Structure 1
Amino acid sequence: MRYFILGATEARDERGRAVPLGGARLRALLAALALRPGRVVAVADLVAEVWADEPPHDSPAALQALVGRLRRALGKDAVASAPGGYRLAASRAEVDLYAFERLGREGAAQLAAGDAEAAAGTLREALALWRGPALDDLPGHSGGGDHGVRLQARRFAVLRQRIEADLRRGASGDVLPELIGLAGDHPYDEPLQAQLIRALRAEGRGADALAAYERTRRVLAEGLGTDPGAELAALHAELLAAPVPDRTSAAAPAVPGAAGAPSPGTGAVTAPADPIADGGNIRPRLTSFVGRQADIRAVRSDLERARLVTLLGPGGAGKTRLAEEAAPPGAWLVELAPLDHPSAVPGAVLSALGLRETQLAPREERGTGRGSATELLVEHLGRRRLLLVLDNCEHVVGAAAELAEVLLTRCAGLSVLATSREPLGVPGEVGWAPMGGE
């Protein structure tokens, strides 16, 4: 006999034929026993799992009667009596849950050993055992209560490993539609978001990869008041440092938060001769921003009388969202949080403006003379009137302040709106502290 609890509870004989089990209580009892094959389950535990919050008046007698019905369905030796409880006469190999766990371990070991092809097949076999929510016939909490929640988490971990195996074997295009859906359903799952960004990059969709990172950064900031972790930050830095040509096709699946056209900094193949002329990289939000209109007006008023306005406050205070809402059309947003060295600030601005690949040789980037990142910024911004939004300056506040001062001094039409946990300390700076939250 084989038992199936990864979905609706089933029992199948040696020929694979389903055994009729009857009502919901009988299926719940079998699920509770099959969860611990070969082990004695106490009467109190079985009563709690089969009847949840509505146990019968004489629960031991009711359970005994239910066990009798299960024996008639499965065979008299299928369920054994033991002191204090009952035991399903089966091994772990006869229960689909434990077959899934064995295959999951094998697939993980294959992946760790570098055999992505074998790992993808093994992990697919494991996931194919799921026919629905685990322990779905146990009453009370959906999916079998705490047991079901743990098993669903284990399934999701195996799913991520299978996606990782597919990415490593070069099947990014095959898994991309699945990843887009999963990333939308699990917006706080950073490893999953990283897999999506890697798949987009592997498919040559540099603009969508950057947009996916930005969407994740905003979700984490707005929902949790935190910044992306090390893996996402490293991916973002790689995209900025070595963008791939954007090969987005009309048939490519859409990514939530991605623009239809290539984003700045996605490579020389698609970058226009003058990317700044295209105007701005701040995309409209899909969510409303009610209750902050007075703040927006105040920031815009400060920008009319000062060329450097810094929105001050702790993480999660709403600085980034307010800056985006207050910025006029054509403004350019530069995300500084992922940077791990102050010298990268000018290069990050170049990348955000779409100038790095067409204008800057990598060996010259950190210089200060002609051809350096700062000089190229002065050259391109000196003849324009625009607003530059420097977001999360506190990570590199000294370098951000130095660059802002140089650009404001030498680019007469430039204004800067910064967000930071501390002032930049540049002459003429106007500090503004948002009172609301995001």
Structure 2
Amino acid sequence: PPPLNPPPSRPPLRTGNLRPRLNSFVGREPELTAIRSELQGARLVTLTGPGGSGKTRLAEEAAAAAPQAWLVELAPLDDPRAVPGAVVSALDLRETVLLTNELSSSHDDPTRLLIEHCAHRSLLLILDNCEHVIDAAAELTETLLTHCPGLTILATSREPLGVPGESVRPVEPLPPDPAHRLFAERAAAVRPGFDPSQDPQAIAEICRRLDGLPLAIELAAARLRLLAPRQIADRLDDRFRLLTGGSRTVLPRQQALRAVVDWSWDLLDDRERTVLREVSVFAGGWDLEAAEAVCSPPDVADAVGSLVDKSLLIAAPGGRGVPGMRYRMLETIGEYATERAAETPALRLAAQRRHIAYVRALVEAADPMLRTGEQLPWIQRLETELDNIRAALARVTGAPDLADEETAIALTLNLGWFWWLRNYRPEGSGWAERVLVLLPDRAVPDDPADPMYWPRMNMRLLALFLTVENRPQGLVITDEERAYVERVRDAFSSPTPQGARFPGIIWPFSLFHLGGVSDARAALDSAVVNCRRFGGEWELGVTLMFRAHMAVDMHGNMRGLDDDLTEALDISRRVGDRWMRAQVCSAVGEAAMARGRFDEAKEEYEEALRLAYEVGAYAESPFLTARLAEIAYRSGDRETAEKTLDVASEEAEQYAVVDTTAFVGLLRAHLALADGEVARARDLCDGARDVSKEGTPPPQFEAALGLIDVRITAAEAGPRVGLALLLVVLRDAVAASCAEAVTASLVDAGAELMARSGDLPCAVRLFAASDVLRDVQVRPMPERAEYEAVSAGAREALGDVRYEAERAAGAALAHEEILAELASGADAA
């Protein structure tokens, strides 16, 4: 007969406890492949990352194909001693012991029970959310791996376990494309028929500002029951109140974004909380030196390392030109840390003051180095710290408890050259305007005995210097403004050390505000003398370079130009400043262009462009490229000219260099007119004029634009109408003190139009007058071809004697007589 009490049968073999998911898994394909591959070789793989980054879901997906995968949820535990028991429960070992009557001395010791169970099995154990019981989880992990050779553990935690042999894989935020897909899929679940193409910009903003955190994105998508994507994006400044109401079946801390971050905050000690509050004053990232300057605990490096381990800070190499590691917070963590810092106002205010002091020390150290051969790493350093620089400027110019005139001036003056060099001129002008608000009323005379006299004057001059780049000509429009600019100019124009350093060396350019362009050469002569007396080599070299550019652009047939260029070039090589050398090469190129030496000009412009790219002087590079296009055009290489103009146009648009955009339009108008496309040339000319009004075009550009306008007008309405316009353009060019090469080109145009009107004797006289203006300079192409064709025809028509007589008469013409000659052929209408 059968026994009265048969032994219980063994339970069926289970292959794991992973639950089927009710929604899709989006993205992470590369991570999944990498984790599965790593689990083939490493026995402990830990996925780390901030709360909401999707570590748990990623671990489950990676383990889904394993034959024996068991998930152990540690998040509900509040006692580290319960960790081994939680693993026992997840594996159902207590039930197995009871059913099989496998009683032994170890069944009351969960760790021993786990060793006995796992020692001869091949299992994958997922220890999920280890951070709050990290020590206990690490101890159990090491014990089990030591005694169970077939066991593999995949852990998720906000910090590594620190067990020998551990392979740590940070779980990064979702890239934009899978983040957008996740939002769209979850959105469709709560709002059937949702079409993400209706507002892709809002969805992109949501995903970006939520740092690509899957939990935050899913919580945002759940809000589509009530709000449109744009409304959600606009409310993300208050994300912790907005992003609530997740799934009721998940842990409470996963139902709201704040609860997720609260969980991490609660695991920090007081030192870590202090440092997290204090680093919230940074913007865009920081390095360890900056953290040590701003944070108050004595062991900042250890605290920063701990916060990195706990996934509240992100550490990454500084990148090209930035040595060491840099740290940052996800926007969500940063907003949370800022809120926590607001709970301790005194602590935050002190950290902000130390942050301002750190930024000030940085820019004061960097400023002189920007003018040396060591400029490149310092430029990169300032570029890297731009967000922190902006934050410091915003505080000293606007925060009630931090606004400070002296500090604001010091920051701005030490950043002025960086802004100019790296084409942050509009931004620099904006900051300068904010600082000027802190200064006394500009209508009140300054006291030279006041210690703040020179800082304020430097600040005002720098503001004028930056503003002239960003406001159209005619800046000075009232008597009050004129008096103000004259007062600033007068402070620097007399011999003084302040006028021999930046920004003082640029005082001559205040004349452009005042309309006294004709006095600029004398002002630069005075500035050079002052720099030789009080300035350093860089200041002297830059002033010589400015004077050389002025000699090319203004009347005087470039007197003294070559001596200035030779000295400035020598100085630039000794100093090592690539920007200065690029500017000197550019001036050499312009002089060669004016003299018709295109090969030399091309070589100099190419060297200037190389140096400009190297130093990142992106305001200069588009113009240099356009000049190379002009050389190709004047050399007859039409294909190269057009391709190079395309490059110059793209760069000018990219870097918002308005004057170059206008210059490119002018050159394109020349090309169109040469092709006989008069209507297109007109459109290009008018477009160039419109664009130029947005910038600060020099007088020689206005003359060049007037010249192409004259040629187009003549093609549209005949030479006599073109001559009438030419009279106006030439008068303006002379009044603006344009270089003789410029006015000679206008006279040449008049000669060609006179020839087309049938007045060959007048054409010969005007060409001869132009020769006198040019002195020994050679006409460029295509003007030279026009001159040769008209002259040959005139000589044949008039005969040698008459031709030479007209040339002699033309060579003796004064300025007003040249205008009279042009007027004789102009249409009075």
TM exceeding 0.5: no
Q: Which has the larger radius of gyration?
A: 2
What TM-score do the two structures reach when normalised by structure 2?
Answer: 0.19
More strand by share: 1
**TM-score when normalising by structure 1:** 0.35
Task: Name which structure has the greater RCO, CA cutoff 8 Å, separation 6+.
Answer: 1
